[in-house]
A and B are shown apart, each in its own frame.
Chain A
Amino acid sequence: AQTVTQSQPEMSVQEAETVTLSCTYDTSESDYYLFWYKQPPSRQMILVIRQEAYKQQNATENRFSVNFQKAAKSFSLKISDSQLGDAAMYFCAYRSYSGGSNYKLTFGKGTLLTVNP
């Protein structure tokens, strides 16, 4: 079974600064997807960024980028120019590439990000 580990229960960053959230995972599969989801205090979880394991290029979405190290099974999220609205719980998640319609995600325990003005 796959596992996802987020070793930083809490992180803080100054507004406009850069922060990196860590995620490692364990799998025997070669093809899979990785995600970062954000859960603000209002509770609705939203997708931040997605990475396909077969792609060597790191995904980017505006101020959000990832550092995907497949051999090390590491998938960190970098937030540049942090904004107050970035404050939330961030979850790293894994999904098998196989399985057809099986969309099961395996989540880490999350990292609570605080943005200080």
Chain B
Amino acid sequence: ETGVTQSPTHLIKTRGQQVTLRCSSQSGHNTVSWYQQALGQGPQFIFQYYREEENGRGNFPPRFSGLQFPNYSSELNVNALELDDSALYLCASSSRTKPGELFFGEGSRLTVL
């Protein structure tokens, strides 16, 4: 069984740039969600994708957007990067059979300078 994988693991961007983070979900999982974890904080829900549609969104501005592909992999895009976007971005996949049991990747550490 393949777990959740994320890429890149680390990246550095400058303010105003755009970034794309990628996630491959666990085998058999059709739902992917993204979380932002600032240093010393718990993860904050960004949004969720189910069958290629966004079906839940947290309190994040529209410059945070995403995609889910037919193979259930996903992308998180952030435009016009701000310093406060520096964080660990976690992707998690899940299935309907076990509600709330998220399987997380190791995350992408984004630093915005």
Contact = CB atoms under 8 A, between A and B. Distances in A.
Contacts of A11: none
B48 A44 contact: no
Contact of A42 (B50, B56, B99, B106): B106
B55 A101 contact: yes
Interface residues of B, number: 26
B105 interface: yes
Q: Which of B41, B43, B44, B107 lies at the interface centre, i.e. has the most chain A CB atoms within 10 A of its CB?
A: B43
Contact of B99 (A4, A43, A46, A95): A95
B100 A103 contact: yes
Contacts, number: 67
Contacts of B28: none
Contact of A104 (B33, B40, B88): B33
B72 interface: no
Contacts of A35: 100-101
Interface stretch (A12-20, A54-62, A78-86, A107-115): A107-115
B31 interface: yes
A110 B48 contact: no
Given A43-B88, A43-B106, A101-B55, A91 B43 contact: yes
Contacts of A97: 99
Interface of B: 31, 33, 40-45, 48, 50, 55-56, 58, 88, 90, 92, 94, 96, 99-102, 104-107
